[in-house]
Structure 1
């Protein structure tokens, strides 16, 4: 009998099954959160806020830290940072940059040939660019966090209410 090769269909089926199992585990863990709706909403809000910043690799850590500070749910904060991902980085940060330009009133184009000629001008360009981007990230992140708090609060109340109704229905049976 021949051994299955590395790319055999049985190993692909197994990996697909493992992926589904992990997804199901995290789904149920999320649904069965034992936090109050307010804690869940706070966690979502700070996670979304952290997700709007271009601090790649640190967004989840910042979201969890902020959730700890505001006594929000850390799991939901980590999930909330996923608003930005490799597919949405460019549109999100371009939008944030334009919002920062609009708020700071700097309509000039930052990148030009003469700004790249000296180290001092390049450093100044980086500072201006990052300041503009971070102002936009703060404002857009704060607005999105505000709305995600109320969306998360509504959703958490709804999920917990349904769970309670199902438990009561089971007891009556």
Structure 2
């Protein structure tokens, strides 16, 4: 008996194909969703807003609560909080901190100003407030932009998603419909 062997993808590419399958799955769920465009946009906006907050573990709870208040899609709100994830925490929260520092009227900040960890820890409470202040502002702007982009782009994406199936039915008129 002859055994066929197919080339296996390299190990480093397996995680990439898993991510691609996962993204495609969520894209298809979004396109097939029966929620209104406004509900989806409100849910994604709430999730992106909550994702900008430096409250690890509480982001999803805040996003779903906010989506409940604005009548947004709750699962998409929870999913949108992943805009901040372990890969983006440091640059995102550094940016939020810089925005908070700038909005509070302080000169630009560099880590070289603190010569020791003791000085850094003394200023911890003030730094946390600056981070939260900047995160809220960045979150509001990012959430509103997400909401506006969703309202603008989602109808077009849904129309494009539905179009190929209608074209396929027209190209095969004798094919029985299921």
Do these two structures clear the TM 0.5 threshold for a shared fold by scoring above it? yes
The residue that corresponds to 1:83 in the other structure is 83
For residue 33 of structure 2, give the secondary structure of its aligned residue in structure 1.
coil
Is the contact between residue 96 and residue 131 of structure 2 (CA under 8 Å) also seen in structure 1?
A: yes
**Separation of aligned partners in 1, 2:20 and 2:82:** 21
The residue that corresponds to 1:159 in the other structure is 157
Shift of 1:57: 1.7
Is the contact between residue 102 and residue 108 of structure 2 (CA under 8 Å) also seen in structure 1?
A: no
The residue that corresponds to 2:145 in the other structure is 147
The residue that corresponds to 1:6 in the other structure is none
**Separation of aligned partners in 2, 1:115 and 1:163:** 54
Determine which of 129, 139, 142 is the counterpart of 2:127: 129
**Separation of aligned partners in 2, 1:102 and 1:30:** 37
Is the contact between residue 31 and residue 161 of structure 2 (CA under 8 Å) also seen in structure 1?
A: no
Cα distance, 1:130–1:68 mapped onto 2, change above 3 Å? same
RMSD: 3.1
Please list, as runs of the form range in 1=range in 2, the aligned pairs for 1:18-37 lying within 5 A after superposition: 19=18, 23=22, 25-37=25-37
Shift of 1:162: 3.1
- Structure 1 segments, 4+ long, off by >4 Å, are 19-22, 108-111, 163-173
Segment of structure 1 superposing worse, 128-137 or 105-114: 105-114
Is the contact between residue 52 and residue 139 of structure 2 (CA under 8 Å) also seen in structure 1?
A: yes
Please list, as runs of the form range in 1=range in 2, the aligned pairs for 1:9-24 lying within 5 A after superposition: 19=18, 23=22
Cα distance, 1:89–1:79 mapped onto 2, change above 3 Å? same
Shift of 1:59: 1.4
**Separation of aligned partners in 2, 1:165 and 1:86:** 37
Shift of 1:112: 3.7
Unaligned runs of 5+ in 2: 1-7, 174-178
Please list, as runs of the form range in 1=range in 2, the aligned pairs for 1:48-67 lying within 5 A after superposition: 48-67=48-67
Cα distance, 1:108–1:151 mapped onto 2, change above 3 Å? closer
Unaligned runs of 5+ in 1: 1-8
TM-score, with length taken from structure 2: 0.71
**Separation of aligned partners in 2, 1:108 and 1:32:** 46
